[in-house]
Amino acid sequence: MKRFSARFDHILPWLAFLHDTVMAGLAFALAMYLRVGGAVLDTYRLPLETGLPIFMLSAAISFRLLGLYRGLWRYASGRDLTSIVKAVLLALLIFLPLMFLKDRLELFPRQVLPILAMVLLVLLAGPRLLYRMAKDHFAGGRIEHSRRTPVLLIGAGDGAELFIRAMAGNAAHPYRVVGVLDDVKRNLAGRQIRDIKILGHVDDLPAVIERLGRQGDRPQRLIVTRPSAELDGAAMRRLVDLAQPFGFTIARLPALTEFRDAVADGRLKLQPIEVVDLLGRPQVVHDISALRAMVADRKVLVTGAGGTIGGELTRQLAALSPSRLVLVEHGEFALYNIGQAIGHEHPGLNFATHLGDIRDRARIMTIILDERPDIVFHAAALKHLPLAEINPSECVLTNAIGTRNVADAARAASVKAMVMISTDKAVHPSSIMGLTKRIAETYCQAVDVDGDRQTRFVTVRFGNVLGSTGSVVPLFERQLAAGGPLTVTHPDVERYFMTCGEAVQLVLQTVAHGFSGAGERGRIFVLDMGEPVKIVDLARQMIRLAGLEPDRDIEIKFTGLRAGEKLTERLSDEDEPLLPTELPGILTTSPQLVPYSVITAFLDRLADAAKAGSKSPELMALLDQARRNALADPVQSELRKRLRPV
């Protein structure tokens, strides 16, 4: 049966070509009759007999050249009508000179031409339209109207039109669209999209649900039709709040680029609204050419390659065709996993995996000197705030001393650029983790200003990454799965959030900017994180996304601020404001500089103290000195004068 179907599909274009050519002959005869009436078989018999085969030949040539027969009648659309118009006009243009060469158009009535064009348009487009209508009606009738799930679409745009059209002609997806709500206030209420009414704005959702319920068309699901890249986080949170009293589930369409193929294959799956959609904002358009120019045909090394940020960096860098990608990770299993993923996704890529701890200066120096990378991305760090408070010496040795080890190795190997991944917790640090990252920032600034200038040191600072190890979102997901409660430290605590993929994209854009030599030495780049989100609001939204009601189905429990935790994080100091760059989504700031000799001597003492004990008095005193910003030197103003473009 399948073999017969394949053969039939193969001959369908030739049947369509034959149909169209026959219609051309019929159109010519009808046009002649409509122009001259019964005289077509008397006075005008000769031009009929001469012109009919010539016009069929002209039409066949035109249809062949324009590929008119290749279109699937099942999906005939306005674009196909445009192709038919072009084919008809080309057929007439071919016909006239051929007819002129035959008999110089003697006795041929010129008024036949516009009539012929109109008749042929009807004979070509009509069967296609009727075929599609019949197929749509048949497909739509395969599932009873009452058995289709009523849905309400959110967004009166291209996605809504595409979904309505797909559902009308595909029995494999049993949804019945009962209305559309616009997500932009454009006064479209009462207008229609393919006979489906636009019932108002999203804010009218409660009233619309009540009205549809009275009509017996109460929807069972809301479907967001706007692409995920265009979703506004605040609007999505508002929609979840409005839908929660009705117990609706909310889904969204896949990307429009995937939608058509999914519908054609009968495998369209609506995607659930996720936390990232609630926090989302319009995606920044990135300059991929600049990224490729930075990475292509260069050696790139990533520390902490098995972590959340390091792993995403590794994946995105692998797609930019480096000449060699070097992965450094101290965790054996994490390194194995990322190595397997890169080998599977990029089988032709030249890459290497090295087990190594950035705290081991000799090991890191050996790896970087042996590999001689062009760019080093330093993502390795201890990031879990409570654990860092309990183990300050370990955090110091990893985040501060480990960063110095990587930076010194990069300079010794004449690396073109080293990129340090930092955090908003380094601003006015109240925690050991934030403080050690600020010390690391300070060292990279100092080396960038006072170094031999063969190596550029770029620091990129941003806030929380959704789904990263130890972050709040995976914790809430586990607590939800266990039936609650969801634990929040304080009702007013808020944080900046960004997806891992977006953060890494912006990091790469920042580095491409810094790698080009633009900007001043010693500056820190800061990613625009948008507006901070209250953690308790995030918890409530996640409960609602699960179809539950906060404080009734799932409890939210406040546990109190942890040691070193702040209510609100900042991305820069008050006296060092963020300044825009020419890159969208990327800002810059210039924190207080510390001379290279001062920070080096301080790190030597800090390393000795950290090795002496977890909470030795000297270690805590040195950390307190750094927290009070007491590393500054009287030559500060002189240093600032040396901040000059590269």
Structure tokens at 306: 């098995």
CB 480 within 8 A of CB 474: no
Distance CA 246, CA 220 (A): 9
Tell me the three state secondary structure of residue 380. coil
* DSSP E strand stretches across 360-401: 375-378
**What DSSP element (H or E) covers 299?**
strand 299-303
Cβ(418)–Cβ(407) below 8 Å: yes
**Rounded Cα–Cα distance for residues 266 and 546 (Å):** 27
Longest dimension (CA), the chain: 118
Contacts of 608 (CB under 8 A, 6+ apart): none
Over the Cα atoms of the chain, what is R_g?
Answer: 34
Of 211, 210, 207, 201, the residue nearest 153 (C-alpha): 201
Q: What are phi and psi of 216, to 5 degrees?
A: 80, 15
Kindly report the number of other CB atoms within 10 A of residue 380's CB atom: 27
> 590-608 in b/e burial notation, b at 16+ Cβ within 10 A?
bbbbbbbebbbebbeebbe
Question: Catalytic annotation on 425?
Answer: yes
Coil, helix or strand at residue 436: helix
Q: Can you name the residues that pair with 462 across neighbouring β-strands?
A: 423
Closest among 248, 277, 232 to 153, alpha carbons compared: 248
> 10 Å Cβ neighbour count for 447?
24
* 378, 300 contact by CB (below 8 A): no
For residue 275, what are its two tokens? 């936390």
What backbone torsions phi and psi does residue 32 show, to the nearest 5 degrees?
-60, -45
d(CA 402, CA 364): 9
Q: How far apart are CA 329 and CA 338, in angstroms?
A: 10
Q: Determine the Cα–Cα distance for residues 297 and 101; give it in Å rounded to an integer.
A: 62
Q: Which structure tokens are listed for 362?
A: 């000799």
| Residue with token string 């007819």 | 99
Coil, strand or helix: which one is 65?
helix
Q: Helix %, strand %, coil % for the chain, to 5?
A: 55, 15, 30
**Residue of 616, 545, 567 lying closest to 430 (CA atoms):** 567
Q: Exactly one of 425, 534, 557, 641 is catalytic; name it.
A: 425
Write out 512-569 in H/E/C secondary structure. HHHHCCCCECCCEEEECCCCCEEHHHHHHHHHHHCCCCECCCECEEECCCCCCCCCEC
Read off the DSSP letter of residue 488.
E
Residue numbers annotated as active site: 425
